[in-house]
Chain A
Amino acid sequence: MKKRRLGRGVAVVGAGMSKFDMFKDRDSRDLFAEAFTEALLSVDKGLDPAEIGALYLGNDSNDYFVRQSHWGPIIADVAGLTPKPSTRTEGACASSALAFREGVLAIASGFYDLVLVGGVEDMSKRTTEEVAEGLALAAVPYENRVGFTFPGVFGAVATAYFARYGAGREHLMDITIKSHDNAPLNPKAQFPYTSKDTMKAKAESLRKRGRAVPDWRDEKDFLFDPAANPPVAWPLHLFDCCPISDGASCVLLAGEEIARRFTDDPLHVAGIGQGSGRGLHACEDLTSFEATRAAAREAYAMSGLTPKDIQFCEVHDCFSIAELLHIEDLGFFKPGAGFKAVAEGQTRLHGPKPINTSGGLKCKGHPVGATGTSQIYEVWTQLRGKAGKRQVPIKELRIGGAHNLGGTGGTCTFTILERR
């Protein structure tokens, strides 16, 4: 494939994210202000917001969730950036990864020296059924019409994967348990509890209400209990699915040659890739996302790096099965080998290829439009050695990846950041 290059190098010089959670009393504006404030404070040598040339803002569906569209200028106003240009990008759950990519290209073109990119979503003011409908607007029309929901599409993908490779629900649980083990180490996570914590809390709640407490042997026994972990879209159950979340995140991007004005420790954008996919009825393979593979090919070719070089990665685990497909599509494991690698602990924080150290969408939360740049935030935090208890324990941590997926694989991105 053609090796693409940036016309000018681009660096990340700051990043921030709000706490992710379901907030009754917070909205997109104050969530973004929280993320932006942290991003400004994260710039080691300081940065005058007046120098920011433009804002690129990812938002999937606040139009539906809070009946307000046109978030570009609203958020530009929150950040005090008006009358500078603000452009909204929409790629379903990959919306802010598109904002990141557009920001990179805008600086690479030479048009801007410094841009703010980010995302925001305010989902929790609707009922679960309404949120499910709102998200499913980003599926393929044929999928919606026959009753597929988002969990439904990924549930179907799971049955195809199980049939082809001999995996089962217990292997998806390995992913859930791993994400829940990382989450308590992330102060921004929506669910900072291990699955054991959750199991104990559930037992305690049953006991308090005078109900019988099942004698669960371990986390998997707990997760196999349909009363504790009810089906959503079989084979996917509640603990296979990410939650409904509100949140915001953002990243400051600068031309590489001026990045050291802001920090002695910038992260270089080594590779960016984006692909488009066609949904279940037309994709090449039901156990793989063609858009992820295209994005990965592009980012690897651009960076000259291979899957082995990616020391840790955030991937779009909207559902447990999705993480399995991504770690194969990104080339970390061979097709059909991902579930065994996960079972062996290879993707754990202390394993050879840590995946979703943040707790992933499952536990960190998934305010859809904010997820892409929140993944970049995690890579930024890890590569600069600021991840505290969840710091990846690899000496000379230099290269991290972030993979974002929108819809039922319609839009996928892969970004590689490098500390030089």
Chain B
Amino acid sequence: MAERPFNDISYNLFLNEDKLMGSKCKKCGTRSVPPRPLCTRCYSTDLEWVEVPGRGKLAAFTCIYIAPPFMVAQGYNRNNPYVSGVIDLEDGGRVDARIEGIEPESPEEIKVGTPMKVKFIHRKDTDSEETYLGFEPL
């Protein structure tokens, strides 16, 4: 099988397979999550996919009450808020993620720095399957 191109389509396909993947430059070893099509450290295009351990710490978060239409379609609104956040990964790098397993209505209880682990959130629509990158407390 030919290697998947180093782009967001492939990144999302890997998420469907419960894999958080990044690109690694074979020349200088720089890793990027999400993947990059070009190493911006040494400008090599000789890249490989690497799986990233899904552990880290909550770096920032927000509890969203005014949701965009696609989240409204999933049942979220001002009476049913959800949490989005930023995770500092254990061995470097940072990802944006949906945050589950914590109570959006008690935001004061949510602490930046909380250890987190990955949770792949699958959602089946009529003709497609999508996976959202999620994290939950360890």
- Seen from chain A, the residues whose Cβ lies within 8 Å of a Cβ on chain B are 128-130, 132-133, 136, 140-149, 151-153, 155-160, 162-163, 230-236, 279-282, 286
Contacts and interface: CB of A to CB of B under 8 A. Distances in A.
A202 B64 CA distance: 25
A281 to B, nearest CB: 5
A286 B60 contact: yes
B105 to A, nearest CB: 9
Contact of B66 (A132, A144, A146, A235): A132
A234 B62 contact: yes
A129 B96 CA distance: 22
Contacts of A232: 64-66
Given A149-B67, A160-B112, A282-B94, 7 more contacts: A129-B72, A146-B84, A148-B62, A149-B64, A151-B64, A158-B62, A236-B62
B23 to A, nearest CB: 13
B37 interface: no
Given A128-B66, A147-B64, A152 B84 contact: yes
A146 B69 contact: no
Interface residues of B, number: 35
Nearest to B63: A234
25 contacts: A133-B69, A141-B8, A144-B68, A146-B134, A147-B64, A147-B67, A147-B82, A149-B67, A152-B62, A155-B64, A156-B62, A159-B60, A160-B59, A160-B86, A163-B112, A230-B65, A231-B65, A231-B81, A232-B65, A232-B66, A233-B63, A233-B64, A234-B107, A281-B95, A286-B86
B64 to A, nearest CB: 5
Interface in B49-83: 59-69, 71-72, 76, 78, 81-82
B68 A146 contact: no
Given A142-B96, A235-B107, A159 B61 contact: yes
A148 B97 CA distance: 9
A146 B74 CA distance: 12
B132 interface: yes
Contacts of B71: 147
B98 A234 contact: no
Contacts of B59: 160, 286
A130 B66 CA distance: 11
B34 interface: yes
Contacts of B61: 156, 159
Candidate in B34, B64, B112 with the most chain A CB atoms within 10 angstroms? B64
Contact of B86 (A133, A231, A236, A280): A280
B66 A149 contact: yes
B62 A159 contact: yes
A230 B98 CA distance: 22
Contacts of B34: 142, 281
Contacts of A280: 60, 86, 94, 96
A129 B62 contact: no
A287 B19 CA distance: 30
B29 interface: no
Contact of B132 (A146, A152, A162, A233): A146
B85 interface: yes
A305 to B, nearest CB: 32
A182 B62 CA distance: 29
A147 B95 contact: no
A331 to B, nearest CB: 24
B68 A147 contact: yes
B113 interface: yes
B47 interface: no
A234 B111 CA distance: 13
B78 A148 contact: no
B112 A146 contact: no
B102 to A, nearest CB: 12
B116 interface: no
B59 to A, nearest CB: 6
In the complex, the 3 A-B pairs of residues with the closest C-beta atoms, listed nearest first: A155-B62, A163-B112, A234-B63
Contacts of B82: 147
A130 B68 CA distance: 8
